Amino acid sequence: SAVISQKPSRDICQRGTSLTIQCQVDSQVTMMFWYRQQPGQSLTLIATANQGSEATYESGFVIDKFPISRPNLTFSTLTVSNMSPEDSSIYLCSVETLAGGELFFGEGSRLTVL
């Protein structure tokens, strides 16, 4: 398995501001992903964080709104830019392990935008 640390665990932000979420993994992993989970809903993939290059975004998500960095194999950040109340959600970092290809999740960052 992999131990994934995310911070902040929660935050309350004002409309129009930006927040950066950090994700640190305790071991080298092949893939890192960012998911969004709206209250009571399933998991929606935002993007795949690629090491040393631009992230690969899913339909409906764009780099200007959700810039992502992955400077090395164990660390990634997701920024939620120019936030609106519709961005209130849980943002989850996940990793796919080198060993078995299993997907593991961090505890999530619960974001509330006022």
Q: Which stretch binds another protein (CB under 8 A): 1-9, 13-21, 22-30, 78-86?
A: 1-9
Give the CA diameter of the chain: 42
Q: Is 41 in the site for another protein (CB under 8 A)?
A: yes
Structure tokens at 55: 């992230």
Q: Is 57 in the site for another protein (CB under 8 A)?
A: no
Q: Is 101 in the site for another protein (CB under 8 A)?
A: yes
Residue found under tokens 């398995």? 1
Q: What strands lie across the sheet with 19-25, from one edge to the other? A: 4-7, 19-25, 75-80, 68-72
Among 45, 65, 75, 88, binds another protein (CB under 8 A): 45
Among 27, 48, 50, 77, binds another protein (CB under 8 A): 48
Distance set, CA 10 to CA 7, 27, 71, 72, 92 (Å): 8, 24, 24, 25, 11
Q: Is 73 in the site for another protein (CB under 8 A)?
A: no
Q: Is 22 in the site for another protein (CB under 8 A)?
A: no
Structure tokens at 34: 């960012």
- Is the Cβ of residue 46 or residue 83 nearer to another protein in the bound state? 46
Structure tokens at 94: 């996940």
Residues interacting with another protein, by CB under 8 A? 1, 4, 6, 33, 41-43, 45, 48, 92, 101-108, 110
